[in-house]
A and B are shown apart, each in its own frame.
Chain A
Amino acid sequence: MRYHRRPGPHVRSDVEERRGGQPALGALMFATLVGAYPRTPLPGRPFRLRAAYGQLERGETDAAAFRAVQDEVVREVVAEQEAAGLEPLTDGQVRWEDAQTPFARALDGFEITGLLRYFDTNTYYRQPRAVAEPRWTRPITVDDWRFASSCTERAVKQCVTGPYTLARLSDPGEVGRERLTLALAEALNQELRALAGAGCPLVQVDENAAILIGDDEAERRLFRDAQRRLLDGVTGTHRSLAITMGSAHEAGPETIFDAPYDSYLFDLCAGPDAWYLIAQAPGERGVIAGAVDARTTRPDTKEVVLWAALYAASTQGRGKERVGLSPSTGLEYLPRDRARAKIELLGETARLAALPAGEELARQLDPRALGIRAAAFGRAMGGGGGAGQAAGIATVESPAEGPVEASGPASEEDAR
């Protein structure tokens, strides 16, 4: 299980370089969270975090004692990811009230206001309101990343909510959204530099509001400008862009792939449209396929998830070494036991995806997976049969050939 010791794509080589240039392990898939993980306990266990939060609110405990309870939850969440075979890991964002508040609170220039629904979920965030151009005065996530990193030998990534999303979900007030977005990009650039300087091997910028860009040229330009400013001079860490809660395909590849990110994570469960972006992502950049549905308790099908990983590997000459697997979005929308089942499936599928085509892979797949591609795209498949064809799914390592490329959504028309 050596692959457990290293993260995937491109991510892997960056991480190894940060660690002192250990040799890469070769072309192996990896699995990672998008970021959030349930902070609730497993069934039958005491919910210490909720109790501690209540005590803190009532003044019955202090911030240090509360943080110690949060630390315990982070250790548990990190260990659970390790056990499932994930890497890079996250702290599950268990300290965050929501994805906006920690940044709005720490940057100068915001006040925190009322609750709003987060996209189409039944979870809420406190809307930040800009009262001045935001300014970065101190690291926001570095200590949390350091702590999570201290809990494991494996690589830990840090998520940062991106400037476009943070501005779009805020009340821009007198500052105006364009000014706010660009000022946030410059402020968060400092945060990315601080994380890179602290040794964080992978920084993931979460830009879920990119799904709202559509064909509006002004929005597209604003997104591009913000990402360029955000990444300006950020080196020595793998830079990843994550877009979930829908698809940003309407913004177009020129917008999404403009800034020099090293990899992209897309939600593939909100609909098939994000495949359009994966198919267009430059081949030298990594892709993380959000193919495990984070919004339902229904179990995912291993063979479908595997197919997604291998198809992503087949696009643009990317190859398995630049592809990873993830849930479709943060797993906090699920009960803890269901979330654990999802990451166990992710780890298992990444392991299978790393296997060379052959008998072992065939043994581990449901022979009925024969029709997996058909199931995924609503088409009938002709010919072939049994485990042999199932194993054939895993033979697609070259982008230009192989049955998956031939029948997958290779064009925009197919993907829509």
Chain B
Amino acid sequence: MNGLWTTSVGSFPKPPELLRARTEHAAGRLSDEQLAALERAATERWIRFQESIGVDVLVDGEMYRGDMATYFAEELAGFEIGGLVRSYGNRYYRKPIATGEVSRTHPITVDAWRFAQSLTDRPVKGMLTGPYTIADWSFDEHYDSRRAFVLDLARAIHEEALDLAAAGARFIQVDEPAASARMDELPLVAEAMAIVGDGLEAHLVTHICYGDFAQAYPGLLDIPVDQVDLELSNSGFELLERFRQVPFPKAIGLGVVDVHSHRVETVDEVVAGIERALDVLPAERVFVDPDCGLKTRTVEEAEAKMRVIVEAVRRVREARGIGDALPPAGPTPGRRLGAPVVG
């Protein structure tokens, strides 16, 4: 049996020299080419790090992105980028404003993915922000309905996903962190994801975080993806109890370290979390990763948390005789499995 593949949710912290360079670039003191060279160097650094510790499915770390919604809005037709708004603490982002019909005019992430994949033989995930989240985290001054806005975005992200798959991406993750905020709109999230994943020959993942998952479950299973990536560490793995009542039929991304804590979890803690999960989930449908992107941690903290995850998985695999051969790419039966029909 193979399973418990290690991966990351997407972002890693930008090294200090890249952060300084981004400031210089914003001030016009550094050229696009100079910044891009530093972004590539930082990407290579994170690819090498993940390879060196033995991560199974790699990410490029998003060295070239700021906010995850704004990054896409900047590249799509129909958006303007507004002023700063705060998300928490001292973190701010430029919230996009839809002022016209949204559409994709060119590939957005494909070159960056190609570059990252060229550095390694291990699979690198294609990383996209989901249509519902881009819409929810933007202001809308154009559309008459949220649905129309979300579905136009879904068509744009679908085109991007197809291009990533055509370029060779075996794993494509479409992040929908906003999906857990309004339970009554989960059907819209699912409708949009069906458009994104239509005909997509890749392992389609969605990442959802910061929500009341106990309430969202099992409704979130209706999102047509192969894998749902959830933060479980932040909520003390409480959701696992719900899986006892309603089994989880898709592959899962199991968040096992808290990305908002400076404290680095011990290997024993993470092993305990994985073991709890394996009580209710089969290893061959479990990917293990942090709760969310690690970009808010320092480089040292992020590396330490990733090392702990990989070591914990190594111990559990060894104890249970689980191999690390990757699952085949492409749609799984789980993509079509939704919430059970009651009554």
A interface residues (Cβ-Cβ under 8 A, vs B): 38-40, 43, 47, 50, 53-54, 57, 97-98, 114-117, 119-126, 296-298, 332-338
Contacts and interface: CB of A to CB of B under 8 A. Distances in A.
B163 interface: no
B268 to A, nearest CB: 20
A38 B85 contact: yes
Nearest to B98: A297
Interface string B90-106: 10100101000000000
Contact of B211 (A117, A121, A338): A117
A335 B140 contact: no
A40 B92 contact: yes
B180 interface: yes
A47 B83 CA distance: 12
B82 A115 contact: no
Contacts of B181: 117, 119-121
Interface residues of B, number: 27
B258 A39 contact: no
B284 interface: no
A25 B182 CA distance: 45
B139 interface: yes
A173 B182 CA distance: 25
Given A38-B85, A115-B260, A122-B87, 6 more contacts: A38-B86, A119-B181, A122-B178, A123-B86, A332-B85, A336-B84
A115 B234 CA distance: 9
A117 B90 contact: no
A338 B83 contact: yes
B261 interface: yes
Closest 4 CB pairs of A and B: A335-B83, A124-B88, A53-B90, A117-B210
A359 to B, nearest CB: 34
Nearest to B233: A114
Given A296-B139, A335-B95, A123 B90 contact: no
Contacts of B86: 38-40, 123, 332
A297 B97 contact: yes
25 contacts: A38-B85, A38-B86, A39-B86, A40-B85, A40-B86, A54-B90, A57-B90, A114-B234, A114-B260, A115-B88, A117-B210, A122-B87, A122-B136, A122-B137, A122-B178, A123-B86, A123-B87, A123-B88, A124-B87, A124-B210, A297-B141, A298-B140, A335-B85, A336-B83, A338-B82
Interface of B: 82-90, 92, 95, 97, 136-137, 139-141, 178, 180-182, 210-211, 234, 258, 260-261
Counting chain B CB atoms within 10 Å of each CB, the highest count among A38, A39, A115, A119 belongs to: A115
A43 B88 contact: no
Contacts, number: 72
B27 to A, nearest CB: 12
B83 A115 contact: no
Contact of A335 (B84, B89, B182, B211): B84
Contacts of B261: 114
Nearest to B181: A120
Contacts of A337: 83
Contacts of B140: 296, 298
A39 B86 CA distance: 8
Nearest to A40: B84
Contacts of A126: 88
A120 B132 CA distance: 13
A297 B180 CA distance: 23
Given A40-B85, A117-B180, A336-B83, A50 B90 contact: yes
Contacts of B87: 122-124
Contacts of A334: 85
Contacts of A125: 88
A308 B258 CA distance: 45
Counting chain A CB atoms within 10 Å of each CB, the highest count among B88, B140, B211 belongs to: B88
Counting chain B CB atoms within 10 Å of each CB, the highest count among A50, A114, A124, A126 belongs to: A114
A335 B89 CA distance: 16
Contacts of A116: 210
Contacts of B97: 297
B178 A97 contact: no
Contacts of B180: 117
Counting chain B CB atoms within 10 Å of each CB, the highest count among A116, A117, A121 belongs to: A117
A332 B140 CA distance: 17
Contacts of A117: 180-181, 210-211
A408 to B, nearest CB: 24
A395 to B, nearest CB: 33
A26 B211 CA distance: 48
A57 B91 CA distance: 13
A123 B67 CA distance: 13
A332 B178 CA distance: 18
A254 B310 CA distance: 56
Nearest to A47: B84
A263 B261 CA distance: 41
Contacts of A298: 139-141
Contacts of A115: 88, 210, 234, 260
Contacts of B90: 50, 53-54, 57
Nearest to A56: B90
A117 B213 CA distance: 12
Contacts of A124: 87-88, 210
A23 to B, nearest CB: 42
Contacts of B95: 335
Nearest to A121: B181
Nearest to A332: B86
Contacts of A40: 83-86, 92
A271 to B, nearest CB: 12
A120 B182 contact: yes
B269 to A, nearest CB: 15
Nearest to B141: A298
B130 to A, nearest CB: 13
Contacts of A336: 83-84
A119 B83 CA distance: 22
Nearest to B84: A40
A65 to B, nearest CB: 16
